[in-house]
C-alpha cells in the first residue's frame, strides 16, 4: 500500500527538471518503474505490456510543466490513462420493464459469491426493490444453509430445494416462483466453479438459457493474480457476463485483477464489496481503483467514509468549538469514537495520499490498545474535568488513573498532549499550516505513549 509509485518516479526523474523535456531514456526508466508497480499490483503481464507501450507514446516529448515535478507529471498521465482504461463512470444494472429482473451470479470457488448475493440483495432492497434469492449451489456442503441465513439477514426471500435437485431446475422453478410472488428482482446464486471444468461451465450456460438473466455478474476476488485474465475470458465465453463484482477490496491487495479483467473482456466493474458486514457493498469507482492500483491512496473513499460516519450537525458544532477554542476532552472522546467507527486507524492512514513524504506516519502502526486506554482515561474523568483538563492535579489524577487502570504518568501525558493538540487545531482553523513534526506528534500523541511503532518491511 505504501509503495508509492510517485515516490519512485520522483527519484527516477529527479534530474529531469533542469533539462525541461522528458527524453527517451527518462521515459524508459519511468516505464520500468510503472511496469514493476503494475506487476506488484497483479495486473496481468500482457496487459502491462500493452499499457506501458501506449503510455510511453504519450509521455515521450511531453512538456515538463512548471507546476509539477516530472515524476508527478508522469503519475498524472498514468492515472489518467488507467482511469480511462478502467472505464469512465461505470454503468448501472439493467432492470426489466416488467416481471422480475434476473441477476445471475457466477465465479470461482471462494470468490465470495454467496456473500455478494446477499449484499446485492440488501443493496437493491434499500432502494425499495422486493428481492428473492435462488439457492443453486448444491455442491458445496452447507452452501444452501449459508444463503438462507445471509438472505434472511439481508431481508430477502430465499428459494431453495435443498441439495438433491438439479441447479438448472431450481433456477427455473425459482423464477416461476418469483413471478408468482411478484418479486422485483431474483438473484441466482450458483456454485463456484473452475473455468476449465467444462461440465459445470455447461451447467452455467444452461442456467443462463433457462432464466434469461438481465445481468450476469462475474464475482472476482481482488486478490487474484495473473490468472484473472484466463478466468475472465472463460467466463465471458460460457456465461457472457455483463459486469463484475470485485470482492475483498477491504484487504490490502492492490487489485490489479480489476484492470486485467476490464482490459481483456471490456466488461465494466459494477460493484465493490469491502467488508464482512452486509452493508459493506457499493458502486464501483474506476478512478479510485486506478489510484489504488498505483498505490496512491484512496482519498475519495476516505472522504466518503467520513461523510457517512460524521453527523453534519456535529461537524458544524465541532467547527464552532474549534473556532471559539471551546474544544474539550469530552469532544475529543466523541471525535475519537467517530473516527474509530470508520475502522482500524492504520487502515485509514493507508488511504491518505502523500504519506510517502511523511516517513513518521508512513510506517506507523497505530496501536488500537493505546486508543482504548485513552478512552478509558477520559471516561474516568468527571464532566468538569473533561471540560477543563487544567484542574486535573494531585488527587484527581490519582483517582482517574485508578479508575481507568492506568498510571498517573499516562493521565499526565494525555492531558499534556490534548493541550498540544488543541493548540495545533487552533492553528489549522486559523489557516496556519502545522509542520509535519507537529502532525506526527499529534498522531503519536493521541495515545498515552507518543512513539509510533515501525514495522519492518
Partner 1 sequence: MPTTWQEIFDLGARDATTPEAEPESEERRRGVFSRLRESLSKSRQALTEEISASLFDRIDEETWERLEEALILADAGAPTTAEVVERLEREVESGAVSADGEAVRERLIEILAEVASGGRGPIDLSGEPAVLLMVGVNGTGKTTTIGKIAWHLSKEFGLSVVLAAGDTYRAAAAEQLAEWAQRAGAELVRSKEGGDPGAVAFDAVAAARARGADVVIVDTAGRLHTQGNLMDELTKVRRVIAKQMPDAPHETLISIDATTGQNGLRQAKIFSEAVEVDGVVLTKLDGTAKGGIVLAIANELGIPVKLIGTGESLEDLRPFDPADFARALLAE
To partner 1, the closest distance from the beta carbon of 61 in angstroms equals: 27
d(C-alpha 374, C-alpha 438), whole Å: 19
3-state secondary structure of 282: strand
Residue carrying the nine cell digits 492515472: 79
- The single residue among 62, 95, 96, 149 that binds partner 1, judged by CB under 8 A, is 149
Please calculate the CA angle 283-276-285 and round it to the nearest 5 degrees.
20
Q: Stretches 108-116, 279-287, 420-428, 440-448: which one binds partner 1 (CB under 8 A)?
A: 108-116
According to the binding rule CB under 8 A, does residue 45 interact with partner 1? yes
To partner 1, the closest distance from the beta carbon of 259 in angstroms equals: 12
Residue carrying the nine cell digits 487489485: 255
- The single residue among 120, 150, 175, 216 that binds partner 1, judged by CB under 8 A, is 150
According to the binding rule CB under 8 A, does residue 155 interact with partner 1? no
Pick between residue 145 and residue 323 the one whose CB is nearest to partner 1: 145
According to the binding rule CB under 8 A, does residue 195 interact with partner 1? yes
Q: How far apart are the first and last CA of the chain?
A: 12
Pick between residue 226 and residue 438 the one whose CB is nearest to partner 1: 226
To partner 1, the closest distance from the beta carbon of 412 in angstroms equals: 28
Pick between residue 251 and residue 434 the one whose CB is nearest to partner 1: 251
To partner 1, the closest distance from the beta carbon of 262 in angstroms equals: 16
d(C-alpha 136, C-alpha 133), whole Å: 9
Pick between residue 176 and residue 237 the one whose CB is nearest to partner 1: 237
**String marking each residue 213-252 x if it binds partner 1 according to CB under 8 A:** --------x-xxxxxx-xx----------------x-xxx
Q: Which of residues 389-448 bind partner 1 (CB under 8 A)?
A: none
According to the binding rule CB under 8 A, does residue 257 interact with partner 1? yes
Q: Which of residues 267-296 bind partner 1 (CB under 8 A)?
A: 276
How is 101-157 classified by DSSP, letter by letter? Answer: EEEEEEESTTS-HHHHHHHHHHHHHHTT--EEEEEE--SSTTHHHHHHHHHHHTT-E
- The single residue among 119, 254, 292, 422 that binds partner 1, judged by CB under 8 A, is 254
d(C-alpha 395, C-alpha 416), whole Å: 17
d(C-alpha 436, C-alpha 358), whole Å: 7
To partner 1, the closest distance from the beta carbon of 409 in angstroms equals: 26
To partner 1, the closest distance from the beta carbon of 457 in angstroms equals: 10
Query: What DSSP element (H or E) covers 271?
Result: strand 269-273
CA distances from 375 to 279, 386, 446 (A): 27, 12, 10
- The single residue among 75, 132, 143, 374 that binds partner 1, judged by CB under 8 A, is 143
10 CB contacts (<8 Å, ≥6 apart)? 69, 71, 72
3-state secondary structure of 206: helix
CA distances from 3 to 6, 7, 26, 363 (A): 9, 8, 20, 11
According to the binding rule CB under 8 A, does residue 111 interact with partner 1? yes
To partner 1, the closest distance from the beta carbon of 450 in angstroms equals: 20
Interface with partner 1 (CB under 8 A), residue total 47
d(C-alpha 349, C-alpha 328), whole Å: 24
CB-CB contact of 213 with 240 (8 Å): no
According to the binding rule CB under 8 A, does residue 141 interact with partner 1? yes
Query: What DSSP element (H or E) covers 221?
Result: strand 215-221
In 3D space, the residue among 257, 227, 230, 225 whose CA is nearest the CA of residue 244 turns out to be 257
- The single residue among 20, 84, 88, 110 that binds partner 1, judged by CB under 8 A, is 110
Pick between residue 92 and residue 276 the one whose CB is nearest to partner 1: 276
To partner 1, the closest distance from the beta carbon of 1 in angstroms equals: 9
- The single residue among 28, 145, 316, 372 that binds partner 1, judged by CB under 8 A, is 145
CB-CB contact of 216 with 130 (8 Å): no
Q: Stretches 135-143, 170-178, 299-307, 416-424: which one binds partner 1 (CB under 8 A)?
A: 135-143
Q: Which residues bind partner 1 (CB under 8 A)?
A: 36, 39-42, 44-45, 108-112, 139-143, 145-146, 148-150, 194-196, 221, 223-228, 230-231, 248, 250-254, 256-257, 276, 344, 346-347, 368
Amino acid at each position: 500500500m505504501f509503495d508509492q509509485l510517485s515516490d519512485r518516479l520522483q527519484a527516477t526523474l529527479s534530474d529531469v527538471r533542469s533539462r525541461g523535456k522528458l527524453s527517451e531514456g527518462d521515459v524508459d526508466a519511468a516505464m520500468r518503474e510503472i511496469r514493476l508497480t503494475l506487476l506488484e499490483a497483479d495486473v496481468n503481464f500482457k496487459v502491462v505490456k500493452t499499457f506501458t507501450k501506449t503510455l510511453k507514446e504519450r509521455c515521450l516529448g511531453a512538456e515538463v510543466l512548471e507546476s509539477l515535478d516530472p515524476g508527478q507529471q508522469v503519475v498524472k498521465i498514468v492515472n489518467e490513462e488507467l482511469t480511462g482504461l478502467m472505464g469512465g463512470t461505470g454503468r448501472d444494472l439493467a432492470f426489466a420493464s416488467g416481471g422480475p429482473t434476473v441477476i445471475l451470479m457466477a465465479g470461482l470457488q471462494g470468490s465470495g459469491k454467496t456473500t455478494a448475493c446477499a449484499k446485492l440483495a440488501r443493496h437493491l432492497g434499500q432502494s425499495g426493490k422486493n428481492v428473492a434469492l435462488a439457492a443453486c449451489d448444491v455442491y458445496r456442503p452447507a452452501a444452501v444453509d449459508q444463503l438462507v441465513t445471509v438472505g434472511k439477514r439481508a431481508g430477502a426471500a430465499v428459494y431453495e430445494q435443498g441439495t438433491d435437485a438439479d441447479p438448472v431446475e431450481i433456477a427455473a422453478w425459482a423464477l416461476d416462483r418469483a413471478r408468482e410472488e411478484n418479486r422485483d428482482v431474483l438473484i441466482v446464486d450458483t456454485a463456484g466453479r473452475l473455468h476449465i471444468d467444462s461440465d459445470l461451465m455447461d451447467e452455467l450456460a444452461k442456467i443462463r438459457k433457462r432464466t434469461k438473466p438481465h445481468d450476469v455478474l462475474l464475482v472476482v476476488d481482488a486478490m487474484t493474480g495473473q490468472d484473472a485474465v484466463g478466468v475472465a475470458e472463460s467466463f465471458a465465453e460460457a456465461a457472457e457476463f455483463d459486469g463484475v463484482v470485485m470482492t475483498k477490496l477491504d484487504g490490502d491487495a492492490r487489485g490489479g485483477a480489476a484492470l486485467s479483467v476490464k482490459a481483456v473482456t471490456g466488461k465494466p466493474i459494477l460493484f465493490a464489496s469491502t467488508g464482512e458486514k452486509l452493508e459493506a457493498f457499493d458502486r464501483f469507482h474506476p478512478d479510485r481503483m486506478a489510484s489504488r492500483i498505483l498505490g496512491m491512496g484512496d482519498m475519495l473513499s476516505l472522504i466518503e467514509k467520513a461523510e457517512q460516519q460524521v453527523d453534519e450537525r456535529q461537524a458544524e458544532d465541532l467547527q464552532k468549538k474549534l473556532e471559539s477554542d471551546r474544544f474539550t476532552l469530552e469532544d475529543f472522546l466523541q471525535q475519537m469514537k467517530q473516527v474509530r467507527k470508520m475502522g482500524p486507524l492504520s487502515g485509514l492512514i493507508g488511504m491518505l495520499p502523500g504519506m510517502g513524504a511523511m516517513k513518521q506516519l508512513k510506517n506507523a502502526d497505530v496501536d488500537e490498545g493505546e486508543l482504548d486506554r485513552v478512552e478509558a482515561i477520559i471516561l474516568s474523568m468527571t464532566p468538569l474535568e473533561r471540560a477543563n483538563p487544567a484542574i486535573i492535579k494531585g488527587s484527581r489524577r490519582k483517582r482517574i488513573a485508578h479508575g481507568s487502570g492506568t498510571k498517573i504518568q499516562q493521565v499526565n501525558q494525555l492531558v499534556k498532549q490534548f493541550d498540544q493538540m488543541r493548540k495545533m487545531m487552533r492553528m489549522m482553523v486559523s489557516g496556519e499550516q502545522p509542520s509535519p513534526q507537529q502532525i506526527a506528534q499529534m498522531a503519536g500523541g493521541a495515545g498515552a505513549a507518543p512513539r509510533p511503532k515501525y514495522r519492518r518491511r
